[in-house]
Amino acid sequence: VRISVFCGVSLDGYLAREDHALDFLDPFHEDHGYVDFMRTIDCLVIGRLTYDVVCGFGEWPYPGKRVVVLTHRELAPRRGEEAHAGPLAPLAARLANEGVQRVYLDGGIAIQQGLDEDLVDDMTISTVPVAIGRGRRLFPGGAAKTQAWKLEARRDYPSGIAQSVYVRPTR
């Protein structure tokens, strides 16, 4: 199964403010490929904190997609969400067995775990030209070894988004 990251990040590397506010991304809500990316995704694997945030949105952002929530805590699924705890490799193997082609891995801690397990195939990172000083990091840390990525594409958007697409070189 292919595992992909697609996220918006502040200039200083944050996915959200500490209180989970995403206000700094608001001025940059032009289409930067998210809709096309979502069309290629058949399953999301998201951290519990990201899940709790999106559950607070007016509208469920993943209609028609399979969603797996990484959590140690009880989940009260309203749209068939599944829970998973522990290493991501067995989950990835199970999803592949069940016919999933491409997974969207989201949430800073969740992404870090995918990187630590060397499971992430590509990352599309859209940087907005705002530094927020503190918050919830895209890469909260912990990778045990250096990983080399290949820069596959760079796109600049009128609002100031600088998007980089990185892929893992063939293993």
Ligand X SMILES: NC(=O)c1ccc[n+]([C@@H]2O[C@H](COP(=O)([O-])OP(=O)(O)OC[C@H]3O[C@@H](n4cnc5c(N)ncnc54)[C@H](OP(=O)(O)O)[C@@H]3O)[C@@H](O)[C@H]2O)c1
Amino acid in the structure at residue 170: T
The terminus-to-terminus CA distance of the chain in angstroms comes to: 14
Query: In the bound complex, what is the minimum distance in angstroms from residue 93's beta carbon to ligand X?
Result: 14
Nearer to ligand X, 137 or 170 (CB): 137
**Encoding tokens for residue 85?**
């705890």
* Cα within 13 Å of Cα(63), Cβ side: 4
Q: Residue 86 and residue 77: Cα distance in Å, rounded?
A: 19
156 CB contacts (<8 Å, ≥6 apart)?
162, 163
Return residues touching ligand X (CB under 6 A).
Answer: 7-8, 15-16, 20, 22, 47-50, 53, 70-73, 85-86, 106-110, 113, 136
Nearer to ligand X, 85 or 96 (CB): 85
Query: In the bound complex, what is the minimum distance in angstroms from residue 109's beta carbon to ligand X?
Result: 3
Nearer to ligand X, 87 or 152 (CB): 87
Query: In the bound complex, what is the minimum distance in angstroms from residue 114's beta carbon to ligand X?
Result: 9
Query: In the bound complex, what is the minimum distance in angstroms from residue 113's beta carbon to ligand X?
Result: 5
